[in-house]
Amino acid sequence: MFFFVIAPPGRFGMWCDAIVAGLSARALGPTGIIHANSLEELSSNALQLEVLRAVVAARHAGGRLRRALIDANRRFIVAFEDPRRACADLAHSSPSDLPHVVKQVASGAAAVMAYRAAPGALVLTAETDWLDPVRAARAIAEHFELPVSERDLTEAVGEVDAAGLAQGEGEAEAWWRALGEAERALTEGALAPYLG
């Protein structure tokens, strides 16, 4: 069984991956996380699974994957956050230069846009849904029809936060303020279609 989380690169997508995995583990048993942006990657990575269930974390999800999800009437999560914040997350977690980070986030955001209005999508945004993580986890559990208790929800959120995936607003703001004017202009220019 697969649970799909479609998101651009960034902390909120990883948070959603971990929440889905934690809730699935509580309701159904051990659940892994695999990364796949295409049907080919999905089949290849699924063969390496040692468990019966997995969250499929797609950060640059392709159109064929979208079509397959729709044709199969599958439910999935679309997790979106301010792409500037996603850039900050990536810049902190990888040694890549700014143009590479911006390109990764912009292409991931572009891929996600087609999924937002698709049948079966539960669209979550960091700016609203991360403000109440237990409520967001409850919405995820209900969307995937996972029979979990309020205690399960609270514990799953606590475990994910303790693993370092809690909302980190201050880091993103500090990174953004530290950018020079030219770097900010580059970033906002590339991300403009996905802001707001």
| Interval 56-94: pLDDT, tens | 999 999 899 999 999 999 999 999 988 888 888 777 776
Q: Which amino acid is at 69?
A: L
pLDDT digits 0-9 by tens, 125-179? 998 999 999 999 999 999 999 999 999 999 999 999 888 777 765 677 777 778 8
Residue 6 contacts by C-beta under 8 Å, 6 or more apart in sequence?
58, 61, 76, 77, 78, 79, 111, 112, 115, 121
What number of H helices and E strands is found in the chain?
10, 5
Residue 55: which H helix or E strand, with range? strand 53-58
Q: Which carries the bigger pLDDT value, residue 13 or residue 50?
A: 13
Q: Which carries the bigger pLDDT value, residue 33 or residue 183?
A: 33
| Cβ atoms 42, 74 nearer than 8 A | no
What pTM was computed for the model? 0.89
| Burial status of residue 172 (CB atoms within 10 A of its CB: 0-12, 13-18, 19 or more) | buried
Mean pLDDT of 84-107: 80
Please report, for the chain, the start and end positions of each structural domain, with discontinuous segments joined by +. Answer: 2-194
CATH code of 2-194, in short, is 3.40.50.300
For residue 102 the two structure tokens come to 């911006």
Please say whether the dihedral angle defined by the alpha carbons of residues 156, 121, 48 and 16, taken in this order, is positive or negative.
negative
